[in-house]
Amino acid sequence: MSLYSTQRLHTLRMIVTGGGTGGHTYPALTTINALQVRLAETGTAPELLWVGVADGLEAKIANRNNIPFRAITTGKLRRSPNPRELARNVVDAFRIPLGIAQAALTVARTRPAVVLSTGGFVSVPIGLAAALFRVPYLMHEQTLSLGLANRILARVATRILLSHEASLDHLSPRVRRRAVVTGNPVRPAVLNGNPTKGLAAYNLDPSVPLVLVTGGASGAQQINRMLAGTLPDLLQHCQVVHQCGSLSYTEMQQIAHRLPTQVAHRYRVVDFIHDELPDLLAAAAIVVARSGAGTVAELTALGKASILIPYPVSAGDEQRITARHLAKEGAAVMLDGDQATPDHLHTAITNLLADSHRRTAISQAATVYGRPDAAARVVTEILTVTACQGRRQ
């Protein structure tokens, strides 16, 4: 018997699961916000429960946004474990059955109309529990190739929501029939930046092109060192705002203090960019970044010319796969392996700055892959699946 049969039809009750990293957590939050807005137009609001790990990012985000949260136990099976991780695999193997039992109890008690997962191993127990109770289950994949957790869950998902058209090639014909390309949800604020405000926030010169350099919220030492090796020469051509992360902040401040006085005013380094990020993205002529799913979703939605430096040990090599795909299609420049050096970074930036036609071509190619309406598309799939389930009752 489906749990939906006892669901009140005027209220959408939904379990959301996914987390561990921002790449899994923020698409879930963006979708929740979009769903709340959509339902508010009809005078209703969803009943939500976010299921995740107690010490995960998702717990903090749910609490910050007043979303009810329930923690379950889960384990992660590492695909290429070293001796230390092998031991953790053994421990986690015993945690997984407990997590599945907790997930089943959570679904049975909550009686959701639908379950949405956005990845991470915390999604596996809830996804399996949804299948057990025949609750419509939507699985969202942010990366170009499916992660291990989502490859497991794709077998039982009612609908598989993809961020990239090319991801369809990674699915079997049977699974592909249940797949829909929605894009990766991007926060509305990111799409509505004000370039004038971005320049003013850092006292930048509107007549000098801006290069935004970021390694993500935690920074990236590889990118920081590449930039440090070329800063004095690079600043002859542009101004740079650099999010370096807290671990490298003191080091990068010291480098900033040693810059020649004639260009030092063109460099702004911060450990973390807060609410002004959308405005800086709007103002930037070029963005230098990792090629994580969230970053790529934002850059392509905005149609930004970018230089992508993939994290070399990302799970499943997903960042390199994504960056290589975009570079092949002319939608980004990729620096990887032997090319990930200060000299190559300098050349890539200055060449793009000097060639506005190429920047425009990259921007236009990136826009092809961007889906600024991704959150709305995911919400439509949620409502469509629940409506179809309701008609079958």
Q: Which two tokens stand for residue 5?
A: 């049969």
pLDDT classification of 1: cutoffs 50, 70, 90: very low
* pLDDT for 280: 98
Please check whether the two domains, 3-186+372-392 and 188-369, share a CATH topology. Answer: yes
What is the per-residue DSSP string for 149-162? Answer: HHHHHTTT-SEEEE
Q: Which two tokens stand for residue 356?
A: 């506005």
Looking at CATH, the fold of the domain delimited by 3-186+372-392 is given as Rossmann fold (3.40.50)
Reported in sequence order, the residue ranges of 78-171 that DSSP labels E, i.e. its strands, are: 114-117, 137-141, 159-162
Q: What is the pLDDT of residues 300-357, one digit of tens each?
A: 999 999 999 999 887 778 899 999 999 999 999 999 999 999 999 999 999 999 999 9
Is the separation of the CB atoms in 163 and 182 below 8 Å?
A: yes
CATH class of the domain whose range is 188-369: alpha beta
Determine what percent of the chain is predicted with pLDDT higher than 90.
76
Q: What is the pLDDT of residues 267-288, one digit of tens each?
A: 999 999 989 999 999 999 999 9
Is the separation of the CB atoms in 176 and 168 below 8 Å?
A: yes
Give the least confident one: 16-20, 205-209, 385-389.
385-389
Domains of the chain, residue spans: 3-186+372-392, 188-369
- Identify the residue with better confidence: 190 or 3: 190
pLDDT classification of 20: cutoffs 50, 70, 90: confident
**Total Cβ atoms within 10 A of residue 244:** 27
Q: For the whole model, what pTM was predicted?
A: 0.88
For the cut 80, the answer to whether the pLDDT of residue 253 exceeds it is yes
* pLDDT for 313: 80
Q: Measuring CA to CA, which residue among 186, 147, 176, 179 is closest to residue 162?
A: 179
Q: What is the pLDDT of residues 196-213, one digit of tens each?
A: 999 999 999 999 999 999
pLDDT classification of 21: cutoffs 50, 70, 90: confident
* pLDDT for 80: 52
* CA dihedral of 12, 18, 22, 28, whole degrees rounded to 10: -20
Q: What is the pLDDT of residues 95-104, one digit of tens each?
A: 678 888 999 9
